[in-house]
Amino acid sequence: MLTTNTPVNLDSLEIFGMGVDHAEGIAVTPDGVIYVGGEAGQIYRIVDDVPVEVANTGGFILGLACDADSRIYAIDNAHKCVWRYDPADGSIEKWLVGLDHRPLEVPNWGAFGPDGSYYLTDSGDWNACNGWIWVKRPGANLTVFSELATNFPNGCAVDPAGDRLYYVESSPRGAIAEMAINPDGTAGQRTELCDLGLAVPDGIAVAADGSLIIACYRPDLIYRWSADGGLEILAGDPQGVTLAAPTNAVFMGAGLDTLVVPNLGRWHLTRGKLGVSGAPLFYPSAAQLGS
């Protein structure tokens, strides 16, 4: 685990989107529109750097994802479901719920793969090591992807080749881990890439060069990890103002060279160019998803 008492790259970051309600999840549409969630069920669209509430579930919104039609898939930990919000008509519907014999417990973050499969972390109880990962494949029912991700699996991302799932573990120790997505769709073994000690990683994004960007709820840091370079601090805020419990991370803009993070500890978003570009996300079509 790396930490710092000195600001790191704060001069490259700016605050915007003031007024969001302790946003945690974030998604960027194919045409570059930002959506974030709120802790009282809000779904916000960021318009001219200002949050506009476009839907409200009355729950607690965690992870967000997006498809090719800019529909937003919002995980609601209060209602134990994934909502789908359609900006074309403002409608919102329950897209995914748990199984009759196994409900969603702590649904946290979802990420699409190239075939339209949706991987969903279910974190379990804090420090209880009872989490797992779901998968919803097009045309199929929700099923368990892996029960090896027990240590509060949180943010996740599918690598550009679509053959592995990266995710972070938040407790009892922080870690970056991966699992192969086998050709038959089954999960490989858990492989720990980096021990983060008592840091609490929350979100993960894949950079164009294959490195991983990690937003940490504690401390107020954004890490970058690579197999060759190891762990480094990409940005850090010892005072917790510009970065205040940054929870997830997305890339946007020309060349995907602008990193954007929500801050669960405050009421704004943070963005900046930190010398790293993101890998393109997967935006499945309605045909891939079956609706």
pLDDT digits (tens, 9 = 90+) for 206-232: 999 999 999 999 999 999 999 999 999
Between CA 41 and CA 81 the distance in angstroms is 12
H or E segment and range at residue 286: helix 286-289
Whether 1 has a pLDDT exceeding 90, the answer reads no
Strand pairing class (258-262; 269-272) = antiparallel
Q: What average pLDDT does range 85-90 have in this prediction?
A: 98
pLDDT in tens, 232-263: 999 999 999 999 999 999 999 999 999 999 99
Give the type of residue at 88: A
Check: CB of residue 136 under 8 Å from CB of residue 120.
yes
The set of residues, in sequence order, having a beta carbon less than 8 Å from that of 113 and lying 6+ positions away, is: 119, 158, 162, 181, 282
pTM (2 d.p.): 0.98
Identify the residue whose tokens are 């994802």.
65
Mean per-residue pLDDT over the chain, rounded: 97
Sign of the Cα torsion 163, 283, 95, 176 reads positive
Set out the domains of the chain in order of their start, with CATH numbers: 10-284 (2.120.10.30)
pLDDT in tens, 56-73: 999 999 999 999 999 999
Between CA 79 and CA 27 the distance in angstroms is 20
